[in-house]
Structure 1
Amino acid sequence: MTRRPPGKRLLLTLALLAPVMASADYSGNPRAAELKRILADDYAFSGADLAAVDQALVKAERVPRLIEKEQTAKEKTLTWTGYRPIHVNDANVRRGVAFMNEYESWLERAHREYGVAPAVIAAILGVETKFGGYTGPHRVLDALTTQGFEHPTRSDFFFSELVAFFVLCHEQQRQPEDMLGSYAGAMGAAQFMPSNYRRLAVDFDGDGDTDLWSLPDAIGSIANYLIKYRPQVAWQRDQPLIAPLRPTTGFRAPADAVNTKLPSETLGQLRESGAHIDADLDDATAAGILELKLDSGQHEYWAGLNNFYAVMSYNPRVYYAMSVTQLAEALSQARSEQAAR
């Protein structure tokens, strides 16, 4: 591909970014030696391989604003009133229906092989990357070195992902400086972190390359993820994600059952606590209470079921999983209406 020289707009952008991007030469960071030791001891990196890692660390850019973006992500800071329209909107539904029509055979195959509903796979792609249209502008090398070496509270997590990133690049014969992704280092249409890319991504189209920028591979990989990432809440075929929950007089929600990462109650226990749950589901069904804060100061309540928590394993934020759930419902309804017409 022929590279064009940067135009005036790009040069201006680079100038504006200069104060928040700086060459770091992370090869001299105290944890760089630990990184290389792990790569040598656990992944059999040769001397030449480690020299290439050093070269990549020299080229890495320090981008503190990526740490700020991670700490102030919208699903952490907005109310449900503010967060929902970002993802559950008419434009996303239109794009999603078009995407599902185009990739129907791949989505149906994923449903057959993994049991995951096509609309849920599509909704995850819609929330993550606008159905593959926006996979992130940041160099993954910069994101993971900055976060892994400098994040004030989650550096260990990002450091482990930096290790996985170098292993992934080595396995796939990719240059670390060439990989682009999110501010957190997630990659491809499915936005997998490097460790999940290595463990859960699949070559769904059978072309010999496990490529999460390929939408068929992303579709299969999301289905595989929901089945295997967290066995306690592995996706259950043809089961719902949520059920309406209406608190009645005297309802007292157990504090440790609200917005948890795993279901901590049963529907029977919630009903005994004074919740009316409008669903024909057995009392033994595992569930949790979802509490969504509205701008009015009030709250909206739902019962989260196993498949909701499977989606939460993708991103452990209730607003994220509820956006996926409601976008999936909207996509299913829109496609049904389209078929009826």
Structure 2
Amino acid sequence: MSEDERRVEAILQNYELKAPKRYKYSQIKKITQRFNNEIGKGGFGTVFKGKLIDGQEVAVKVLHQSNGKGEDFVNEILSISKTSHINVVMLLGFCFEGCYRALIYEFVPNGTLADFIDKDKSNMEALILWERLNDIAVGIARGLEYLHRGCSAQIVHFDIKPHNILLDKKFRPKIADFGLAELCSTRKSTLSIQGKGGTPGYIAPELWFDNFGPISSKADVYSYGKIVLEMVGGRKLFNSKIDSSSEYYFTYWVYDHLNQCGNLDAYGVTKETEEVAKKMILVGLWCIQKLPAERPSMSQVVEMLEGRIEDLRMPPNPKKLMDLNI
């Protein structure tokens, strides 16, 4: 057994939690029918659809063998094993055998939020579409609120993005992919992080620049705000191939437009759906404020989304922050 394997084994055995079921690699091959149904791929591994012996459908994430010393693998098990929430994906088991590492999750059939954003929704009735978008936004907010405040240890995800939000058969969102997550005491308001990763376009500025404030759960709030604005705009907010001064950068346009005339006809917003759309935009803009202290907590976000539009103020203009292209 290598030093890395001994270290991971020690962590898994000594950590005081109810660990999910452990599987052998031969069982993983059987569950996935020798990896014949790939349903996703990311920076940390490839996801296959599979079936447990009792017939339950599952998603099996097989981690890349080149992923260093196993920090992401251990992080994901320790983080998600502490959770139980309808808006957080459920970890059913794992495999750690030699160089093979895999995580077994509940199967979530409607793909990712990224798929839903990119999908042609022109045949959906506007009211139904906006109600669904709002329900998804509230669900993600509730999931993050739970991670930040509802667990025995606070969990900061650090990689909230549309590809890491899964949608079940009722389009309820489930937060997934905890490879970059940090566990800390619920009494601890700030974190000391070195070399923390993330996805360009969704990373909070304090993770890039020391002078933007302390690192905390507000980093997830920033990423959440970017997701909400992306849902409203129906497009990716970040594209490295497009100049950030382009009107393609939806955040620029929506603040000025909402502040000046409040008309959102260009985004399929009708009188029927105007309140939901404006509420989502205002919440998104508050969440991407430059300084962490200026952003709401996820508990406040839930209250804002479920409250009255009249109670929401116009936030400060985020354009100066957006010029940093982060």
TM-score (norm 1): 0.30
Q: Which has the larger radius of gyration?
A: 1
Structure number with higher relative contact order (C-alpha < 8 Å, ≥ 6 residues apart): 1
Task: Give the strand-richer structure, 1 or 2.
Answer: 2
Task: Give the helix-richer structure, 1 or 2.
Answer: 1
